[in-house]
Amino acid sequence: MTTTTTGPREETSDLLLGVDHPPVGDLLARFELQSMPGYLLRRVDSRAAALFEAHTGQARLTPRQFGLLKVVHTEGTILQSELAVRLHLDRSTLGEMLQRMVDRGLVSRTAAPADRRTSEVRLTSTGQEALEQNVAGALEAQRALLAPLPDYLRPVFLACLEMLADADHPDQPSPDGEEE
């Protein structure tokens, strides 16, 4: 008779696929934090940020700020409320981030003519320059992020990430401005 043992990955998989909760003591014994998807995604996010900084060669522009510059570049002019939706950020987080970027001269923000309660955001020449200086490094960071995966798994991995990212809002446009 062959005895099989399961490792942390199999235990986690069993827990995540199950519909019932084991007793608390058993759940605590089997709950391997390092194998849980939320924990792994946080680690991947940290790795992505570190790779972005390493490949762009500077720490002044964050990946989120780069994403904002890219969306504004694509749109030309965009309402701040629409920008929040496109970047999947709450309005206060975006407002704080935009203020720092306005202070650095990367974007401009002016009252929208049609509705003065909202603002229009535009890329400045400094923001355009920052975007152009960092786009090649940002691409290299994305390639480095996927490098540990075999080529044939990369499209599958990206499709799975999109499914997870869009699970709560499947009809919102993707951050790059294209409808899915």
Q: Looking at the whole model, is its pTM more than 0.85?
A: no
| pLDDT one-digit tens code per residue, 90-103 | 989 999 999 999 99
Which band of pLDDT confidence, cut at 50, 70 and 90, is reported for residue 58?
Answer: confident
d(CA 122, CA 48) in angstroms, rounded, equals 27
Q: How big is the chain by its Cα radius of gyration, in Å?
A: 21
> What is the CB-side half-sphere exposure of residue 165 using CA atoms within 13 A?
16
Domain parsing of the chain, residue ranges: 1-35, 36-166
| pLDDT one-digit tens code per residue, 19-29 | 777 889 888 88
Quick one: three-class SS letters along 137-151? HHHHHHHHHHCCCCH
Q: Please say if the pLDDT value at position 145 is more than 80.
A: yes
Of 36, 46, 27, 28, residue with least CA distance to 8: 36
CATH number of the domain located at residue range(s) 36-166 in this protein: 1.10.10.10
The gap from C-alpha 45 to its chain's centroid, in whole angstroms, comes to: 7
The gap from C-alpha 25 to its chain's centroid, in whole angstroms, comes to: 35
| pLDDT one-digit tens code per residue, 111-120 | 988 887 889 9
